Every structure is written in C-alpha cells, then in structure tokens.
C-alpha cells in the first residue's frame, strides 16, 4: 500500500526487452540529492516501489539505481510501455505500519490511462484537466480522491460531454511544490498518465452490481 505522497523523481536509465520482447526490464536511477533515496534506502530486494503509480518489485539494486521487471499486460495497460531512457518517474516506497497518512490509500494497481487535455494557471496553482477512459469515468467524482501517476490528488470538477461518444474530463489543481517534486513538470497536453481510482469507489460499484433481494 502507498499514500500517493511522492518521495522523489527517478529517471529511466535503461529499457531491456525480455521474454521474447513482450516483457521489459527497467533500470531506474534514483535522485542523487534526495537523502531518503540515496543508496536505495529501505529498498531491499523484493521490496515494492510505486513507479508513477504502478506497484513494482525491486529485483536488483545498486548505490544509485534499482531494477524492476514488467509484464506485457502491465506494459499494454499503463504508461510503462512508453517509458524510454530519460523518462521521469514518480517514486514512492511502500507504506509502513505507523507511517503518517498524508494522502489517501493507494494500492499501486493502475485502473487505466487518461490523457492531459490542458493546463491553465489559476491564482497560485495550475488547473490540470484530463480526459478519462469510459471504463473508469463513472468512478471519478468531485471532491473524491484520485491518484495520477501515483500522486494523491483531489478531483475539483467532472464534466461529461455527449456527442458521437461520451467524453469525461476532470480537473485537479497542482501547487508549485507538487509540480517541482513530481513528473508533472514534464507533462504536456496529449501526454498519457496512469490513473488509480479511489478504492472505496471501486468497492461501492462492485456491491451495486449484485442484485438486491
């Protein structure tokens, strides 16, 4: 489990195809100026790290990097299939018993991929808007929690537009501190982002799918 509070921003160092090219191994360099990540503090072999919202297992580590392996399924249904050397990755170590819960409970299981539709300055922050895929749009509600590339955020508004097909857009506000300490600083309109809906919304929808009687 995670909180959606990003510890640091890593960088993809290498992308190595495995499993006949269907799976991939990523070598991720950790922030050299971040004391918590210097030397992969706490990231033992087998540990879970949320990488831009996707829970991955450390299979190798060094003084300034760690390595993870990703299946074809994950590559196809998250933004990880587009990672290249130089890609910036939000990092968060798994939650430990007794840690402060500053964000919201995040599982690291990505529900879908949304796309940036715009970013507009708004007072001291920036209003980011995203287009949500239909499969997860119904789980997104104003003032609800959402994780975008692993960042715990509050949904400000949701807009459903009907046309040839229904399009759902939602907005969040990003303060300068968050932009500076996550990969939001590298996002532009059209870029894909990993989305994890609120866990409570997922279970409420599941319960509603059962017949009443």
Q: For the segment 94-144, what is each residue's pLDDT rounded down to a tens digit?
A: 877 666 667 788 999 999 999 999 999 999 999 999 999 988 998 999 999
Q: What percent of the chain has pLDDT over 90?
A: 62
Say if residues 193 and 116 touch (Cβ distance below 8 Å).
yes
**Alpha-carbon distances of 30 from 6, 79, 82, 116, rounded to whole Å:** 13, 19, 19, 26
CB atoms within 10 A of CB 181: 18
Q: Which of 114, 135, 118 is nearest to 126 (CA)?
A: 118
Decide if pLDDT at 82 tops 50: yes
pLDDT for residue 146: 96
Counting every residue written for the chain, the total comes to: 213
The reported pTM is 0.90
Q: Which pLDDT belongs to residue 34?
A: 61
Domains and CATH numbers, the chain: 8-93 (2.40.30.20), 112-208 (2.40.30.20)
Per-residue pLDDT band for 38 (boundaries 50, 70, 90) equals very low
Q: What is the pLDDT of residues 40-70, one digit of tens each?
A: 555 778 889 999 999 999 999 888 889 999 9
- Note the pLDDT of residue 42: 57
Query: Helix/strand/coil (H, E, C) string of 138-178?
Result: CCCCCCCEEEECCEEEECCEEEEECCCCCEEEEEEEECHHH
């Amino acid at each position: 489990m995670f909180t959606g509070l990003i510890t640091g921003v890593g960088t993809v160092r290498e992308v190595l195809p495995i499993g006949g090219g269907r799976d991939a191994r990523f070598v991720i360099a950790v922030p050299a100026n971040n004391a918590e990540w210097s030397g992969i503090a706490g990231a033992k072999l087998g540990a879970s790290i949320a990488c831009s919202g996707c829970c991955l297992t450390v299979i190798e580590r060094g003084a300034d990097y760690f390595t993870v392996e990703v299946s074809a399924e994950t590559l196809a249904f998250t933004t990880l299939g587009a990672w290249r050397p130089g890609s910036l990755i939000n990092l968060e170590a798994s939650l430990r018993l007794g840690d402060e819960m500053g964000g919201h409970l995040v599982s690291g299981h990505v529900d879908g991929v949304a796309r940036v539709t715009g970013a507009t300055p708004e007072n001291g922050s920036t209003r980011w808007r995203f287009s949500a895929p239909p499969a997860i749009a119904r789980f997104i509600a104003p003032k609800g929690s959402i994780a975008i590339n692993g960042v715990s955020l509050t949904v400000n508004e949701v807009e459903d537009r009907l046309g040839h097909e229904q399009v759902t857009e939602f907005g969040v506000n990003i303060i300068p501190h968050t932009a500076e300490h996550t990969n939001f600083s590298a996002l532009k309109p059209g870029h894909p982002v990993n989305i994890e809906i609120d866990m409570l919304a997922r279970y409420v929808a599941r319960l509603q799918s059962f017949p009443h009687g």
